[in-house]
Amino acid sequence: MTAYLATGILWKEMFFSYGTKILYQNTEALQSKFFSPLQKAMLPPNSFQGKVAFITGGGTGLGKGMTTLLSSLGAQCVIASRKMDVLKATAEQISSQTGNKVHAIQCDVRDPDMVQNTVSELIKVAGHPNIVINNAAGNFISPTERLSPNAWKTITDIVLNGTAFVTLEIGKQLIKAQKGAAFLSITTIYAETGSGFVVPSASAK
């Protein structure tokens, strides 16, 4: 414990010896001077060969990044979101980059009927998924007192209900086919404690 505390104190002294402005001005983490960022996947090539991955919100941001990595490791990916033009562009970009097929299916996860149709299409074009990532999300960066009932409902419908609809529908199909899959639902650090300006998201997560 003493060694741990001493190490912590030493680290703080090293960090703040640069002055507090480092917290605002330096975009590179201090540790990157000693440990260069890893630029490749930490898994062996073809780790997901023969696997099917379904990613909601797969057209942009985190969803696009996860799809790119899974595809580069051999997975056949199916991405879904509301904007078909964005999905198609992302699917083509990732396919050309990795050499693996990426399917795009339009889906609003807030609509259970649309989710049901999407899952049917998913199974039709790629088979039952081995990996399901509930990544679709939304947020209004707003003081809580300014939120309208519709704003609250929109975020909750996407983040909470959408995750439930996708998980339940795929789960039913997997049970019927006597297959299993790994499910990942994206959360956030403020889900446990709440935070200003993101209350609907924190509650739904």
Q: What is the pLDDT of residues 130-164, one digit of tens each?
A: 999 999 999 888 999 999 999 999 999 999 999 99
User: How would you classify residue 116: left for phi > 0, otherwise alpha for psi between -120 and 50, otherwise beta?
Assistant: alpha
CA 31 to CA 23: how far, in whole Å? Answer: 13
pTM of the model: 0.82
CA 197 to CA 205: how far, in whole Å? Answer: 14
138 in helix, strand or coil?
coil
Task: Provide the pLDDT confidence category of residue 61 given band limits of 50, 70 and 90.
Answer: very high
Task: Provide the pLDDT confidence category of residue 31 given band limits of 50, 70 and 90.
Answer: low
* Tokens 């929109």 found at: 154
- Does residue 24 carry a catalytic annotation? no
Which domains are present in the chain? 50-202 (3.40.50.720)
Candidate list 4, 18, 24, 190, residue with the active-site label: 190
Q: Check pLDDT > 80 for residue 187.
A: yes
Q: How far is CA 132 from CA 88, 122, 150, 166, 193, in A?
A: 20, 11, 28, 9, 26
Q: Is the Cβ–Cβ distance between 62 and 56 less than 8 Å?
A: no
Q: How far is CA 38 from CA 33, 35, 42, 73, 75, in A?
A: 13, 9, 8, 16, 21
Q: Is the Cβ–Cβ distance between 66 and 78 less than 8 Å?
A: no
